[in-house]
């Protein structure tokens, strides 16, 4: 199944007859969100035995929360903390209240049960437990009891309001902050922009790919008054060929190579732009919906597309690869782009802020 029109709908700012049903649903959704927020404010939040940092956003995806969570976990490990990543496990099929995706010795559940993002985090963070549950508090307690965790990272945790956190980070895509500015389903917003007031700091992502004339901080200054602001980007790290004994190349390897690429992520156009900037000769690019469950037939169709266009390689994202690896046989011309999240400026200031929050929690 190819990418739906939702990304186009969420970018469309003009009102017309076709958007009327979505606008009405958006109003109803907004009433539900406001009721939930009002109800939660009156309830006592649960507290985990350690430092809790939430990495989330206001929109339906595409800001790069997962790479940011990995970067945060790597920093906390270097600082000597016992770390776990807690996730809802979106797209995973698990029946237990809590699922241990990985522990300090290895991966215990595949992407079909865990969901692609928790499984990807588990693969990238070999010694960090990844625990999923619809109740992040239960996941945290399990992590503390089993592994002695004292540093909890909530992946996509901004809307998980019943758990107390010590640092709330919100990621905003600098090239497309809030789409058309409307709530779901008419727009990409999970909740009103004014709820940014709950955040301790805002990180603008994809700053390296946003137009130079678009100063996102200036345009949002009124909404982000008194917030600590940082800039970050997703940096290409390696081109990995998983069926060639995990052979990896510098991203510059793609320069001049004729490729067919595909992606089933929230912002496939960002991946496409990255490949073009790396100098790849893009013969064709196929979009799928976010978290798309690939089948063997889908992959055969992608291989046929590659061969039809005379491409050398078939390239995808690392998140798409973790959904493919269990359903396809060996195909040496398949590769995925591995990326990392990096702060473009004020990295020292950012981690000093984290340390200050930890000290505040401690004393």
Give pLDDT tens digits for 6-44. Answer: 777 887 888 887 789 999 999 999 999 999 999 998 899
For residue 102, give Cα distances in angstroms to 34, 112, 296. 36, 14, 26
Give residue 39's pLDDT.
Answer: 93
Please indicate whether residue 4 or residue 16 has the higher confidence score (pLDDT): 16
Please indicate whether residue 189 or residue 225 has the higher confidence score (pLDDT): 189
Instruction: Please provide residue 353's backbone torsions phi and psi, each rounded to the nearest 5 degrees.
Output: -60, -45
Would you say the CATH fold of 235-341 matches that of 51-233+342-362? yes
Instruction: Give me the residue spans of the domains in the chain.
Output: 51-233+342-362, 235-341
Give residue 219's pLDDT.
Answer: 66
Percent of the chain residues past pLDDT 90, beyond the cut = 78
Average pLDDT, integer, range 170-182: 90
Give residue 175's pLDDT.
Answer: 83
Contact 60, 188 (CB under 8 A): yes
Partners of 361 in beta bridges: none
DSSP code at position 197? G
Contact 343, 245 (CB under 8 A): no
Distance separating alpha carbons of residues 53 and 153, to the nearest angstrom: 5
HSE-CB of 228 using CA atoms within 13 angstroms: 15
HSE-CB of 280 using CA atoms within 13 angstroms: 26
Give residue 163's pLDDT.
Answer: 97
Distance separating alpha carbons of residues 352 and 363, to the nearest angstrom: 16
Which CATH number applies to 235-341: 3.40.50, 3.40.1350, 1.10.1760, 1.10.30? 3.40.50
Average pLDDT, integer, range 141-152: 98
Contact 238, 210 (CB under 8 A): no
Give residue 155's pLDDT.
Answer: 96
Residue 355, Cα to own-chain centre: how many angstroms? 24
Q: Which fold has domain 51-233+342-362?
A: Rossmann fold (3.40.50)
**CA-wise closest residue to 173 among 352, 341, 347:** 341
Contact 295, 120 (CB under 8 A): no
Count of CB atoms situated within 10 Å of the CB of 14: 6
Give residue 211's pLDDT.
Answer: 53
Give residue 42's pLDDT.
Answer: 87
Q: Which of 124-133, 145-154, 176-185 has the lowest mean pLDDT?
A: 176-185
Record the pTM.
0.93
Residue with tokens 């055969």: 300
pLDDT by residue (tens digit) across 197-253? Answer: 999 999 999 887 555 444 565 667 667 777 889 999 999 999 999 999 768 999 999
What the block records as the tokens of 99 is 């699922």
């Amino acid at each position: 199944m190819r990418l739906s029109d939702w990304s186009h709908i969420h970018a469309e700012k003009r009102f017309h007859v076709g958007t009327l049903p979505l606008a009405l649903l958006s109003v109803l959704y907004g009433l539900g969100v406001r009721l939930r927020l009002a109800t939660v404010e009156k309830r006592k939040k649960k507290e985990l035995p350690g430092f809790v940092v939430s990495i989330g956003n206001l929109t339906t995806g595409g800001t790069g929360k997962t790479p940011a969570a990995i970067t945060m976990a790597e920093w906390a490990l270097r600082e000597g903390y016992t770390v776990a990543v807690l996730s809802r496990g979106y797209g995973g099929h698990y029946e237990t209240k809590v699922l241990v995706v990985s522990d300090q010795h290895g991966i215990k559940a595949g992407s079909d049960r865990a969901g692609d993002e928790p499984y990807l985090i588990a693969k990238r963070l070999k010694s960090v437990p990844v625990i999923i549950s619809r109740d992040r508090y239960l996941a945290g307690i399990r992590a503390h009891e089993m592994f002695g965790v004292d540093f909890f990272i909530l992946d996509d945790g901004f809307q998980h309001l019943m758990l107390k956190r010590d640092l709330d980070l919100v990621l905003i895509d600098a090239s497309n902050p809030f789409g058309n500015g409307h709530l779901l389903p008419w727009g990409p917003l999970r909740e009103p922009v004014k709820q940014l007031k709950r955040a301790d700091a805002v990180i603008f992502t994809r700053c390296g790919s946003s137009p130079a004339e678009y100063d996102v901080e200036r345009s949002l200054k009124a909404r982000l008054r008194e917030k600590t602001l940082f800039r970050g980007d997703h940096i290409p790290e390696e081109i990995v060929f998983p069926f060639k004994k995990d052979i990896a190349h510098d991203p510059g390897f793609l320069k001049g190579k004729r490729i067919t690429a595909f992606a089933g992520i929230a912002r496939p156009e960002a991946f496409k732009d990255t490949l073009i900037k790396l100098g790849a000769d893009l013969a064709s690019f196929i979009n799928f919906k976010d978290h798309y469950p690939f089948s063997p037939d889908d992959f055969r169709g992608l291989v046929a597309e590659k061969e039809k266009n005379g491409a050398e390689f078939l390239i995808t994202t690392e998140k798409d690869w973790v959904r493919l690896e269990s359903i396809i046989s060996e195909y040496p011309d398949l590769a995925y782009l591995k990326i990392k999240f990096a702060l473009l400026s004020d990295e020292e200031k950012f981690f000093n802020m984290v340390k200050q929050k930890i000290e505040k929690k401690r004393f």
